[in-house]
Structure 1
Amino acid sequence: MIHIKSAAEIEEMKQAGSLSKQALRLAGSMVRPGVSTKEIDVAVESFIRLHGAIPTFKGYGGFPGSICASLNEQIVHGIPSPEVFLNDGDVISIDTGATFGGWVGDNAWTFFVGTPSEAVRGLCEVTRDCLKAGIEQAVPGNHLGDIGHAVQQLAEAHGYGVVREYVGHGVGHVMHEDPNVPNFGKKGRGVRLQAGMVIAIEPMITLGTHENHTLGNGWTVVTDDGKAAAHYENTIAITEDGPVILTQDEDGPWLPMQGGQK
């Protein structure tokens, strides 16, 4: 069931979105060689709780972290660990969620650790642009297929893989609501978009094959060929005036890709 939000509810959701973006900005500022993913997780959880919110991911389905920290070939759901340290040349997708006032804000970004390869840099730049292209299609009267088509067309035009098994989703009082928001599709197909829908658009794009599998921890999803993946996400409200990015703070919805910057 798709929950349509009122204009007032969308305004309320901006508070959760802002906190989630601030948490993600904090996480990105900590990304540098030698830092453990657990250090970032602890800092983000402390920040979210300090601001009167709840880290949405902590305990969700048994997930142990407050962030998802997915390195290199890990697509999503990387578990923070005191034994996993960032190295120069890595890329890391960090996903943060904050629940505030009963609403969820959910966003993700992929950061460079030091200097990535040109191939990986290109993948990240295109995946970020895929997110922008998907958001542009989030207007009343369009369909979910228009969003997926925009993402897929741009990614595949550059020779990248588009993950099928993991998709965006509705957002509201819980993190995952209807509808699912695939990163592939055909124009004019799928659920018709209407004002008041709130969705997370999150392209997950790979340097090689889109085929993937889950590690033995039951959470972390990796590419079958071991090549890098990138992941970007914002929570979007569909309005009569166009898409509104709810996961933004005073510095805006977009983050630097280079780690160590605020």
Structure 2
Amino acid sequence: MTIQENQIKQTIARIWDVSSETYDSHEGHGIQSEAEREAWKNVFKNLLPPGRLKVLDVGCGTCEIGLLFAEMGHHVTGLDLSEKMLAKAREKASRRGFDSVFKKGDAEAPPFEARSFDIVVNRHLLWTLPHPDTAVLNWKKVLRKGGRLIVVDGVWNDGSLETKTRRLVSDFCTLLAERRNPRKGHYSREIDSELPNRHGVPSEKMLEYFRAAGFKNVRDLDLKDIMELQKKEMPFRKRIAYNYTYHLVYGEKN
């Protein structure tokens, strides 16, 4: 890692440290209803082999997704660059009686032995990475033979006039209703310039990463139904802009 890359990752970690206090309260990040919780678990159950599995939630944040696997009886390890996100994750796991383990580290290069996990999962991470292709290769390394990689991401900004208009209206309404700048905490232009998928990751690009890394049985699932459940819990000012392409890509290690 170059000095510049290290500085960028430290800056990103500080941004997520600040976001940790409110992250789970944001629709689309924290799970806001039992219906959404069960929907996520049903999606994941259909992708998992039988038995108690070792799961790595890479770029876990507050481990909202990883702890769903703990609820299903699996052992979860969470990895993140942000100490404050990890503190939230530990608190949540402890409160719910899970034996989950949390470690600070780089999502692009997980500091674990090869073939350590049955499942590697992440949500809303791939778009934040400077080297997503390298990350997918390294996630494969820590998977056992037959292990599964599950990545949830979306296209957050397709550049269309409709999307720009929806965001402007939503941001203005949020500014009026909540008396806060909804864009505070967004990445700077300097950081954005280092991210090849800064507007989100189309499913075609995700499939490309998986296939280039040599995963087999690669599948792409539309998460439109989960988005609809999330929107039910949102105020109108948030629903205006919540119009993304949202998907899960899954693959198995040979």
| Higher CA-based Rg | 2
TM-score by length of 1: 0.30
Greater per-residue helix proportion: 2
TM-score by length of 2: 0.31
